[in-house]
Structure 1
Amino acid sequence: MPFYILDLIIAFCCVIHVFKTGQDRYWIYIVIILPVAGFLAYLLMVVLPGLLNSRQGYKVTNKIKKILNPQAELKEALKANETAETYANQKRLGDAYLGVKEYQQALMVYLRILKGLYATDPELLLQIAKCYYHLGNADECLNTLTQLKMHNPDFHTAIGRLYYAKALALKGDKVASKHEYQAIIKYYPGFDARVSYAEDLLAWGDLEEAKALLQTLSREVKRSERHVRELNEESVKRMKQLLAENQW
């Protein structure tokens, strides 16, 4: 494609963007009079800031930050906690450790603040249960979730019930775990419950059931809206990996 035609297409796109987003009209003259420099200026001063301030832009920049510096939130949480060891700062620190999969460190922080007004805090107990599960301690995970429910009967959490099913599987109680999974996958928001169930089905050797579950989920993912796939990105990745590993 000749350069001047590409230049015209870019200028036309900029003009459309100016009208569509209500930008100052002088940008039209700039991109026409100064084709390359004008377009770059418009891109840097108008388009990119608009993208970064949008919801989608925030998601993209946040994902890039995590890729480039996965320890950033942990460093900030450590710094905040050094300034003031408040409950909020320590909870943030525990969450930051959990986010980078340092489960033992996260657990130590959570247990340290599990006292006083927060001795039965449901959100805190849920995080502790997650840590125990990822550390391979099924009994303590189940016990923590039981304590959560006992002290907070009105606190309903789908993720808590999912971890209960996962912990039962980790403990080796296949019958009880399957019962929990089959109940929760009917209402769990997102794909995580079904992917987790498929993972445990494979571990139990129930290949046909796992295959049917994953293939049905794969069709659903393909039909789902883009924002749904983005919200369930990690689960979708795990699903695709399981399908590929088993050549289904």
Structure 2
Amino acid sequence: MPIFGIGLHILVAVFFAIHAVRTGRELYWLFILFMFPLLGSIVYFAVVFLPHSRIERGARQAGAAIQKTLNPGRELREAQQAFDLTPTAHNQMQLAQALLAAGQVAQAVEQYDACLRGPFANDAEINLGAARAKLANGQPRPAIGLLVSLRATQPNFRPQEIGLLLASAYTAAGRKDEAGVEYEMLVQRFGSVEARAGLALWAIEQGQRPLAERELKELDHARKHMTRHTRGQHQDLFRRLDAARANFG
């Protein structure tokens, strides 16, 4: 039994060592894991493995959802209080984000516009948030301007998120062809569920049956192999796709 216990500790240490190598952790973790298999594994699990696991992310998301349910509007109230107390550019950006998250898009646009006139006018997060707020407020043209400029100046900043938002803005502005080109580019570059779903919905709307069927087939294949957790994350998107497919005939 002692031999089995020692062997189990080593197996656990080997598992975490493989995880450390694959995720590019510092080499001293290998020393800790193999010099102190039991204690090292416990420390690695608590410090590295758990904080980056799906369990931890799920717990944080669940906690945030419960917090919003029990205390709705807390983030907005705190952001407003912080800005009223100390009206810095950072606090104004936090207030704009909180307003947008609360669905108060017109007020969010006002705060973001003020940020764009301030010392952090070129900040990527502010420009992205401003574009998102303007699009939500029915202002796709200025949103497009912000996104195109942001992509030109900072091409490596959240490329897929900017592309998806830009495609939505093109669609809202009636620039359907440009929206299609954007979705095609996103599918080729990322091949994500969001990109393929956007292209499929665009193709259905434009009556491009072969393209729509191609993307729907790819999405059905991906959907079949998703975990329950991943399907839940895309639940609203799949609902929209199913409704569009039913109407597409």
- Please report the TM-score for the alignment, with normalisation by the length of structure 2: 0.66
- Residue aligning to 1:35: none
- Residue aligning to 1:5: none
- Residue aligning to 1:37: none
Deviation string 1:18-44 (CA, Å, 9 cap, x unpaired) is: xxxxxxxxxxxxxxxxxxxxxxxxxxx
Range with bigger deviation, 194-203 or 148-157 = 148-157
Q: Answer with 1 or 2: which has the greater Rg.
A: 1
- Residue aligning to 1:148: 150
Alignment partners' CA distance in 2, 1:89 and 1:236: 33
* Contact 1:214–1:243 (Cα < 8 Å) also in 2: no
- Residue aligning to 2:235: 236
Q: Which amino acid aligns with 1:122?
A: A
Determine whether 1:197 maps to 2:220. no
* Deviation for aligned residue 1:70: 4.1
* Deviation for aligned residue 1:163: 1.7
Deviation string 1:206-225 (CA, Å, 9 cap, x unpaired) is: 35533542343133123124
* Contact 2:151–2:159 (Cα < 8 Å) also in 1: no
Q: Which runs of 5 or more structure 2 residues have no equivalent in the other structure?
A: 1-54
- Residue aligning to 1:93: 95
* Aligned residue pair count: 193
Alpha-carbon spacing, 1:229–1:89, altered in 2? closer, same or farther (3 Å): farther
- Residue aligning to 1:43: none
- Residue aligning to 2:211: 209
* Contact 1:129–1:144 (Cα < 8 Å) also in 2: yes
Alignment partners' CA distance in 1, 2:104 and 2:213: 32
- Residue aligning to 2:84: 82
* Contact 1:71–1:100 (Cα < 8 Å) also in 2: yes
* Contact 1:191–1:236 (Cα < 8 Å) also in 2: no
Match of 1:103 among 102, 105, 117: 105
Q: Which runs of 5 or more structure 1 residues have no equivalent in the other structure?
A: 1-52
Q: Which amino acid aligns with 1:188?
A: F
Cα RMSD over matched residues? Answer: 2.7
- Please report the TM-score for the alignment, with normalisation by the length of structure 1: 0.66
Match of 1:138 among 114, 137, 140: 140
Alpha-carbon spacing, 1:213–1:168, altered in 2? closer, same or farther (3 Å): same
Q: Which amino acid aligns with 2:198?
A: S
Alpha-carbon spacing, 1:54–1:143, altered in 2? closer, same or farther (3 Å): closer
Give the share of equivalent positions with the same residue, in percent.
27
Q: Which amino acid aligns with 1:113?
A: C
Alpha-carbon spacing, 1:63–1:137, altered in 2? closer, same or farther (3 Å): same
1:195 is paired with a residue of what secondary structure? helix
Deviation string 1:179-215 (CA, Å, 9 cap, x unpaired) is: 1110112333742222233333333333553354234
Alpha-carbon spacing, 1:205–1:223, altered in 2? closer, same or farther (3 Å): same
Alpha-carbon spacing, 1:179–1:160, altered in 2? closer, same or farther (3 Å): same
* Contact 1:70–1:100 (Cα < 8 Å) also in 2: no
1:136 is paired with a residue of what secondary structure? coil
